[in-house]
Structure 1
């Protein structure tokens, strides 16, 4: 969660009912997420007319590609800078570009400051990987497989081909709207949706196959793609078990499904190239390159520690009700119960000092909500606030706004069945919002990836005891290192998470 008013800080202000997923303004991404290839084209020399010296010049206007880059980087928490890691992925990208079908294409890789596991490419050749993905990968060949997959989306012009299919699907949908027969209309629309879904799945498989051939040509282990797909699936399963509301976040599984069929096809392509163990994996060198990178939340966006959220930079803390699992993002703190019947969102906005909290609440920060009763003025640990009940379809809400200087922190609680007991839990959670002291801020330290060597006889349980993650340390250690069982290889390097 960022300071209000900063890049990417303007939170979406609508709940998607009944799923209760917060609507985040995702930029359209290339390759895996379908961005149009909208690149500026230069005029031919024969028609380019030089401007006279006195003509006004337009400066500082971004190209469509530059605007897209800024939007994407802003949404994913900004760029992450770690010189050794950046140099390493740059070196890998240079090798991949030379082995690709378009070696003259200029590629650039940006590491995004997000714990989410994701990667994507723009048609311009810009490739993005999150630090969350780098933490999950276990060797150089796996990161190479991810980047080669994204390069394949560019070289195969998947974004443009998908855009053309979407246009055809739109025509089908428009035609369906004017058909009198409801059954035929439904059939046409279903056909359009299935065609797009099938096309997207096929693009992923095609990009896998092209990418595997590229990494093999560059000298890397072609089986790395299937290994990473397995790790991706396991990481997603673990995350969803710990964070039932994780579907609201733009992780890699939303655009790169790791199905058994896809893994099997990746293995088959690799077997057609070489036997296992032939290509370079670069395990130790890769772990050395990511040693010390941030893991989980960025200190600049606050920390989740169990049910508690603390933001040292903005100077506040908040504790969610019992049974809630919290997850932080650049836009907001989201929470949900295991059964999905209760949820919360904490975000903030800049509000003019002359705007009263009553007036701000009346402006309606969530579309479609009908407030119930008279807003109640409250004091929350000395801070002025206001709270009210609201209703929308099958959900009931407890809203609270707390003013801290020029910022208003907005707490939105939702429940399928807002009983007096549930509402009391929500009110108690509102009362936990408070300013923190410098001592509180110093007590919370960021988590980082550290590299440790297994001694003879040491197993996964011993390494799990070193993990600073609050939940399921053994499962997290195994997923992070691509392990299936408790046995470790003596003198081999492994990743652990430390504070």
Structure 2
């Protein structure tokens, strides 16, 4: 998706969260509609990037009923909205100027009641009501003009970099101002619709906790993405949302949350990645539809994105990328590795090899701070590229990369048929239940107690009340 197209989307709830979308599956049967409108093109891009539509009659009805209630209480009850639930574990939502709203099932799973869901939907409606997409398009166009001048006109690289940085800062600040405005509009709509106006602050807090959990797991600083983010830092938004909510009532004094009804609607919902589009289980990546699997080197955390499977070793000293490309059948894999798609390949290192019966080739390359081990594996009609990187070149690192690519293999029909998605299960707290006891039932290998707390909005010292409903993740 182009930078301009991304800026036209009012994508609002994404904090420093790492998108976990599916590895793309080549599909030669799709026929583009004749003369698609701009909205149709954006819709197609969003669906392709976020796993398509999540098909759940129960959840769709819940979301549509919430939107209808919000529309009736909004400044523009005449506007029509259509909501699509995206089949992605990412925490995100979008609005197009024509009233098309998108929320991911990851967002629905993170929310703990209808007021939290309503706060997100009302926020997106706020973007539509305030015509933010049209305003942002003009700002993006100006930024593109500046970029063009920097790239094609300015001869002084320092002056060019400064001009481009200033344009990006202006655009980022403008976007943050839009987010705050949409937050204010959204809280007002939610409150007038009878929802707890503090749903926004609760959801934003949960979103930040989720982002912090993922950032910590990946060895990244969760604050690093705030500076040029198109969204304000979440602590700022929480503070702003609380101030907006206090204009309508005190915490818990008024407004519906409908927690139990909301959680009942989530029972059985797919959680995390959809196995049919590839998923991560610890160090292992599995793609049942494409029928392959591989294991990352020890110490790696994997992330399945829309473009590639990415991996990072704890400490950040090693990384990997797996993606899929089309290479003509008549072109050898050694010739492909030498073709220039990656720079500084050591020509003498290029050689043919075989990976579990599949023709392959390997080579090494160097960069300013990284050394690379490359593999190209012909699997069916496509070529799978493994790019391993290390800051410290060693025989041990090279062996771990080789062991990882040697784990790449075709899955059997039996294996693919036995793979099932993780799902949310709504449980009722019994006497004697603790956070630790319920977290022990979670089918999550990495930090299950932390995940349990995040998806339920719980803090370490919170006591569970018998009879209350909570989410757990099961196979």
Same fold (TM over 0.5): yes
How far apart are the structure 2 equivalents of 1:309 and 1:498?
A: 19
How far apart are the structure 1 equivalents of 2:367 and 2:154?
A: 33
Deviates more, 1:429-438 or 1:344-353: 344-353
Match of 1:401 in 2: 376
How far apart are the structure 2 equivalents of 1:243 and 1:495?
A: 24
How far apart are the structure 1 equivalents of 2:50 and 2:310?
A: 16
CA deviation after TM superposition for structure 1 residue 495, in Å: 0.6
In the alignment, is the contact (CA less than 8 A) between 2:4 and 2:141 conserved in 1?
no
Give deviations 1:34-83, integer Å, cap 9, x for gaps: xxxxxxxxxxxxxxxxxxxxxxxxx8321111011101110111111111
* Corresponding position: 1:308 with 2:308: no
CA deviation after TM superposition for structure 1 residue 133, in Å: 0.5
CA deviation after TM superposition for structure 1 residue 445, in Å: 2.3
Match of 1:379 in 2: 354
* Corresponding position: 1:328 with 2:307: no
Q: Provide the aligned length of Structure 1 versus Structure 2.
A: 450
- Secondary structure of the 2:64 match is helix
The 1:168–1:349 alpha-carbon spacing in structure 2 relative to 1, beyond 3 Å, is closer
Match of 1:355 in 2: 331
Match of 1:416 in 2: 391
- Secondary structure of the 2:353 match is strand
In the alignment, is the contact (CA less than 8 A) between 2:175 and 2:231 conserved in 1?
no
Match of 1:222 in 2: 197
Gaps of 5+ in 1: 1-7, 9-22, 34-58
The 1:24–1:135 alpha-carbon spacing in structure 2 relative to 1, beyond 3 Å, is farther
Deviates more, 1:194-203 or 1:94-103: 194-203
How far apart are the structure 2 equivalents of 1:191 and 1:361?
A: 39
* Corresponding position: 1:30 with 2:4: no
CA deviation after TM superposition for structure 1 residue 186, in Å: 7.0
How far apart are the structure 1 equivalents of 2:130 and 2:88?
A: 27
Match of 1:472 in 2: 447
The 1:24–1:60 alpha-carbon spacing in structure 2 relative to 1, beyond 3 Å, is closer
The 1:457–1:440 alpha-carbon spacing in structure 2 relative to 1, beyond 3 Å, is same
* Corresponding position: 1:202 with 2:177: yes
How far apart are the structure 1 equivalents of 2:124 and 2:381?
A: 43
Match of 1:82 in 2: 56
How far apart are the structure 2 equivalents of 1:244 and 1:220?
A: 37
CA deviation after TM superposition for structure 1 residue 388, in Å: 0.7
Deviates more, 1:197-206 or 1:319-328: 197-206
How far apart are the structure 1 equivalents of 2:60 and 2:229?
A: 26
Alignment of 1:123-162 (within 5 A): 123-162=97-136
In the alignment, is the contact (CA less than 8 A) between 2:176 and 2:230 conserved in 1?
no
The 1:479–1:364 alpha-carbon spacing in structure 2 relative to 1, beyond 3 Å, is same
The 1:261–1:284 alpha-carbon spacing in structure 2 relative to 1, beyond 3 Å, is same
Deviates more, 1:458-467 or 1:482-491: 482-491
Give deviations 1:180-214, integer Å, cap 9, x for gaps: 99998776555434332222222111111110000
Give deviations 1:257-278, integer Å, cap 9, x for gaps: 4432321121111111112221
Match of 1:267 in 2: 242
In the alignment, is the contact (CA less than 8 A) between 1:80 and 1:131 conserved in 2?
yes
How far apart are the structure 2 equivalents of 1:246 and 1:410?
A: 28
- Secondary structure of the 1:409 match is strand
How far apart are the structure 2 equivalents of 1:462 and 1:272?
A: 40
CA deviation after TM superposition for structure 1 residue 443, in Å: 4.2
- Secondary structure of the 2:375 match is strand
How far apart are the structure 2 equivalents of 1:159 and 1:72?
A: 15
* Corresponding position: 1:456 with 2:431: yes
* Corresponding position: 1:117 with 2:87: no
In the alignment, is the contact (CA less than 8 A) between 2:320 and 2:387 conserved in 1?
yes
* Structure whose CA Rg is larger: 1
CA deviation after TM superposition for structure 1 residue 24, in Å: 10
Calculate the aligned-residue CA RMSD, in Å. 2.9
- Secondary structure of the 1:62 match is coil
Within the candidate set 272, 292, 310, 1:296 is matched to: 272
- Secondary structure of the 1:88 match is helix
How far apart are the structure 2 equivalents of 1:29 and 1:112?
A: 18
Give deviations 1:368-391, integer Å, cap 9, x for gaps: 453442422112122221111112
Match of 1:61 in 2: 35
CA deviation after TM superposition for structure 1 residue 225, in Å: 0.3
Give deviations 1:232-268, integer Å, cap 9, x for gaps: 0000000111123798xx99x9544443232112111
In the alignment, is the contact (CA less than 8 A) between 2:275 and 2:287 conserved in 1?
yes
Give deviations 1:283-331, integer Å, cap 9, x for gaps: 1111111211111111112221111112222222101111111111343
Match of 1:427 in 2: 402
In the alignment, is the contact (CA less than 8 A) between 2:323 and 2:385 conserved in 1?
yes
In the alignment, is the contact (CA less than 8 A) between 2:7 and 2:137 conserved in 1?
no
The 1:327–1:495 alpha-carbon spacing in structure 2 relative to 1, beyond 3 Å, is same
How far apart are the structure 1 equivalents of 2:62 and 2:56?
A: 10
How far apart are the structure 1 equivalents of 2:230 and 2:145?
A: 24
In the alignment, is the contact (CA less than 8 A) between 1:301 and 1:329 conserved in 2?
no
In the alignment, is the contact (CA less than 8 A) between 1:245 and 1:336 conserved in 2?
no
- Secondary structure of the 2:322 match is strand
The 1:24–1:329 alpha-carbon spacing in structure 2 relative to 1, beyond 3 Å, is farther
How far apart are the structure 1 equivalents of 2:156 and 2:410?
A: 61
The 1:438–1:183 alpha-carbon spacing in structure 2 relative to 1, beyond 3 Å, is closer
* Corresponding position: 1:70 with 2:49: no
CA deviation after TM superposition for structure 1 residue 455, in Å: 0.5
